[in-house]
Structures are given as C-alpha cells and as structure tokens.
Amino acid sequence: MRFKSVVAACGLLLAGIPAASAQGDYLEWAGANGLMGPLAEPDADLDTDGITNLMAYAFDLAPANDPDAWEKLPSLAFLGDPPEPVMTFVLPREIPRDVSYVVELVREDGKRVEIARKNGRGPWKGTGEIFRRKLDDGCTEITVETPLDMPIPEGDRPLRLRVEFLP
C-alpha cells in the first residue's frame, strides 16, 4: 500500500485534539461529510487507509477513499549531491483556519526541530527554505528544504509533517 511508504518517509503525526470550541471549521467539515459521533472524531479513519479525519480535513480530502489523496499528501525526496531531504505537499485552495502545518527536522538523537510552520491562513515562518507553486486547480504546492546551516541526520525519515489544531 503506497500510504505506508509515505508514512515511513514522512513520519506523519497527528497532534492534539482540541476542545469543541476550537474546532468550528472542522465540525462544519465533518457535518458536511456526514460524519457523526465517533466517526466525526479527528483521529477516526473510516476506511483504515491511515489518513485520519484531521489529515483529510487539512488537505481537503474526502474522509474515505479519496482518489486524489496520494498527490496531495506529503512526500519525501532526497535531491542534490550530497542528497538533502525535501518535503513536498499540496495545500487546498481554502486553507483551514483552525489547523497548523508544521515541518520538523528529526535529528539523529531523535529530537525534533521545527523548521517551517503555517498557522491557519497566516504566512509560513521558520528557518527552512519554503517554496510555493500555484497549481492550475487553485491549490498550492509547498516544498520545504532544510536550512543550509543545519546538519542533515542520517536515516530515511529526517523530515516530518505534523498537522495540529490551533489553540
């Protein structure tokens, strides 16, 4: 299954489920997609493909069996000589106000260093090199490279994308 290789490469991580008052837009999305009760929980995965409701919401995917998921979710590549990690993903036309997209570098000691963050519809911030490319469908392809002054750890998963609710 392709998603397992994406998870292995990117180390997707779901973080913190907020109080209901902080989930306004998410709850609207869940209702519009017919999700109720436990199936509406941000960490629920209706079709057991590894894409939680929160990830589907953050990337404007259907909560089950979305054929476009693999083109929008993060992928990791190693480019250059020596090879350096590069993460690429596609943000929806309408970026949710109530989520943050956080790219982290995973050091050899296992500690994570945040290199890029986008809170809701605000600008990208961080020390990583962030490139944006507008796509024909109105979505935006994001590419994040590690900062030049940071050592790149050995291993096949040096970058992670974490999606979390904004406080």
- 138-166 average pLDDT score: 86
pTM equals 0.80
Note the pLDDT of residue 115. Answer: 96
CB–CB of 40/53 below 8 Å?
A: yes
Nearest CA-CA partner of 146 in 104, 117, 110: 104
Segment among 37-41, 69-73, 99-103, 122-126 with least mean pLDDT: 69-73
CB–CB of 167/19 below 8 Å?
A: no
- 42-51 average pLDDT score: 90
Q: Which pLDDT tens digit goes with each residue over 53-67?
A: 999 999 999 998 888
Look up residue 42 and give its amino acid: P
Segment among 13-22, 93-102, 120-129 with least mean pLDDT: 13-22
Given a cut of 90, whether residue 127 has pLDDT beyond it is yes
Q: Which pLDDT tens digit goes with each residue over 64-98?
A: 888 888 888 899 998 888 888 999 999 999 999 99
